[in-house]
Structure 1
């Protein structure tokens, strides 16, 4: 009866406005880690909001400077209830992308929460403030109701995920002992389908880079010099066309992964399809295989001249910012060298390759057969009444390698967002219906961990 009452309280927290009220305060922090941001706003999110909240829950908290110069702070919170109990590590990031208020539709402000039906609009609603709020509040309900968790918990909050988790790995190396745990259970990214819980155990890697063609200083009259001076935009366009074909299929052999095994294909076989263009991506792969089992390149931005007021001139230079999302089975260290070799072989030695400004994410996968994964899957299925979609990896990128490679942890991610949430763009929003179900799922999961704590500690 107490279990049902706690889960009911978790549901009411979302249904009766408590979650929206708490989220409204979080969204109001302009905790931007990109170009629009200010360091004091990143720190304020931790000192003014998260540290007091976690201290009230009985956690010992410590805010640390980033080990890399210019990096954002990190918060580590610990609640230890017994040496014989398992320790769950929980992760979240309080930083957000640039607000870009001018791109949001009329009536919306990226840092002012607004509810419209099931939708909660604001920067960070989906990525990632609502997600770690749900998990922390689920812990809080257990503590407030029963006086204990029934397991040990550690929470790491970073403020630089949107810039590649700058300094996180160095922090983990320095704090390895303090971060020791039995499992990572965290939330980020979207569900595969809005009405069904999703679990994933890794993520695609991500690496950004610039392609630059710089031929001369200044622009030159297109009449006087057309046909005489090489056009850097045309050169850059043809260079990109050698990297991917007209349907986006990768043409660099080293960028085509070797890890789409029969086992991975079987795991992806019965997933519902994502929104996709039928004539885009690797032709002989299913939509799920394209996004979860293969690599993709995107041109994020391209620049030459003034698109708002074009002049009759040949540009002196052109630049494209590109990104490769890649799965396990791609040699991360050879991505840019392979690109350089490819461009040279196709006669584009004049195209410069520059590494991106943000940190690159490593591709990771963790076995879906691990006991912790199976335990979480059974709990989610029982509390939601639905078999969750279990993915070998997320299509997006996360700092999962910090947990698997440095801390040696099994990693289980349970997202509380959906694919059409608008993260990283205008009109970002969360769905209250997913948040309510997320509150029930996470509260039930933590209750299950407490109930089976002895066996889980022994099994780990």
Structure 2
């Protein structure tokens, strides 16, 4: 019956692509209030499709912001596993519009890629699952396992209301495992198991000096320059070997095992020099890929002070500001790390300036699932059946807070089945998705949902 579902997808390819294009044409930009009706329209599209597929329960759940779509099909019986499929239908703004080669909300196929905002992140990947559910229902008359669906409209604005909903409705969303397709592969046509994500925390701080900018000739040498004080303070936080100097920063870091280092080193290497840099830098004792995937980082994301215009303005600026974030690994607690950063800044702030700190309210713990978990092994087998290649195993340097929330609230494995590629241009003009990955990705999902029935 597996082949019947795959044949159904092939026979209905044009119709399904047209339906996806209808979905992509909705400008569901969650961050812009002008598009609030469009966001609601996208939620209705998802709910209508779930009803068409034959889900027994479908709800558009209102939130304090944009709606969440819930669906359930429990016809596989109590002995079959239940999967929670999570995705999001909201998208990033399309700006700057002048850099798009085609209109962002008028999907267009060029050179084997479908161009539109949301084609990869995440409407395209969400639609793949829905189309597979349709194919299975149409050919088998049922789904091989019980399915719950959680598709939200606020992921691109930090999933502002999702945690509260999941926490308040634990029973409704309860499942044996979760599947998310909101990620990608390390290279074109290279199936990739993403088994870990980094956590996140950060802060912004300002050093205040005089109550107004001062003439540097009159006051230089007597008044502390906040920009120079900032440079000293930032330099105290990390040395030239990329080792963070904040006391206690590494205390709870889970060691990187020999087995994991081997998995990481089997991943095709990225050509970092294509980024216009002369060479890579990484934490002493670790490769660039090991550091990115599996070691914590501290980065300056922005800093500003003083005159920014053309030419020279000879002043001592009244203040200097920097924004910092940390990507965290298993074992590290975001709140604890944030407190360590604050303590370090307070201990090392130079004389002559005062310190103001704004903590980043959004944080998340790191997530990692055992690569030998049967659900992961089955995903690897399904990828090979769909793409004809063995998978590589990676941990990502980025953060997806919902993964950690689902892990902590439901204590279930989260399987990250991503089908995007490095060339998809997420969040940028000319976002696209390779049509070949739609085909191979949906075949992979058919194999996976059929296979986990045996788990």
Structure 1 and Structure 2 fold alike (TM over 0.5)? yes
1:425 shift after superposition:
3.6
Out of 204, 209, 213, which is 2:198 matched to?
204
1:44-83 mapped onto 2 (5 Å cutoff) = 44-47=41-44, 49-59=45-55, 60-66=57-63, 70-81=64-75, 82-83=77-78
Please name the residue that 2:422 is paired with. Answer: 419
Please name the residue that 1:302 is paired with. Answer: 303
TM-score by length of 1: 0.86
1:332 shift after superposition:
1.8
After superposition, the Cα gap between the structure-2 partners of 1:163 and 1:300, relative to the gap in structure 1 and judged at 3 Å, is farther
For residues 208 and 427 of structure 1, what CA distance do their matches in structure 2 show?
30
8 A contact 1:6–1:145 mirrored in 2: yes
Deviation per CA, 1:74-118, whole angstroms, max 9, x where unpaired? 22111110223221110101223343325x625344444343313
Residue 162 of structure 2 is aligned to residue 163 of structure 1: no
1:220-369 mapped onto 2 (5 Å cutoff) = 220-221=214-215, 229-246=223-240, 248-256=242-250, 257-276=253-272, 278-304=279-305, 307=308, 312=313, 313-348=315-350, 350-356=354-360, 359-369=362-372
TM-score by length of 2: 0.87
1:269 shift after superposition:
3.1
For residues 181 and 114 of structure 2, what CA distance do their matches in structure 1 show?
18
1:433 shift after superposition:
2.5
Please name the residue that 1:140 is paired with. Answer: 134
1:309 shift after superposition:
5.3
Higher mean displacement: 179-188 or 245-254: 245-254
8 A contact 2:366–2:404 mirrored in 1: yes
Please name the residue that 2:276 is paired with. Answer: none
8 A contact 1:168–1:402 mirrored in 2: no
**3-state DSSP of counterpart to 2:70:** strand
Please name the residue that 1:379 is paired with. Answer: 382
After superposition, the Cα gap between the structure-2 partners of 1:240 and 1:419, relative to the gap in structure 1 and judged at 3 Å, is farther
After superposition, the Cα gap between the structure-2 partners of 1:141 and 1:161, relative to the gap in structure 1 and judged at 3 Å, is same
Please name the residue that 2:92 is paired with. Answer: 97
Structure 2 residue runs of 5 or longer lacking an equivalent are: 274-278
Out of 49, 57, 82, which is 1:87 matched to?
82
For residues 347 and 270 of structure 1, what CA distance do their matches in structure 2 show?
43
Please name the residue that 2:449 is paired with. Answer: 446
1:4 shift after superposition:
2.5
8 A contact 2:280–2:288 mirrored in 1: no
Structure 1 residue runs of 5 or longer lacking an equivalent are: none
8 A contact 1:7–1:444 mirrored in 2: no
1:310 shift after superposition:
6.6
1:341 shift after superposition:
1.8
After superposition, the Cα gap between the structure-2 partners of 1:356 and 1:424, relative to the gap in structure 1 and judged at 3 Å, is farther
8 A contact 1:202–1:411 mirrored in 2: no
For residues 331 and 153 of structure 2, what CA distance do their matches in structure 1 show?
29
In the alignment of these two chains, the number of paired residues is: 442
For residues 315 and 12 of structure 1, what CA distance do their matches in structure 2 show?
67
Higher mean displacement: 106-115 or 376-385: 106-115
Q: What's the Cα RMSD here?
A: 2.8
8 A contact 2:100–2:430 mirrored in 1: no
Deviation per CA, 1:269-327, whole angstroms, max 9, x where unpaired? 32222343543221321233112211123333334457465772544333333321111
Residue 6 of structure 2 is aligned to residue 10 of structure 1: no
8 A contact 2:87–2:151 mirrored in 1: yes
8 A contact 1:101–1:109 mirrored in 2: no
**3-state DSSP of counterpart to 2:248:** helix
For residues 298 and 435 of structure 2, what CA distance do their matches in structure 1 show?
33
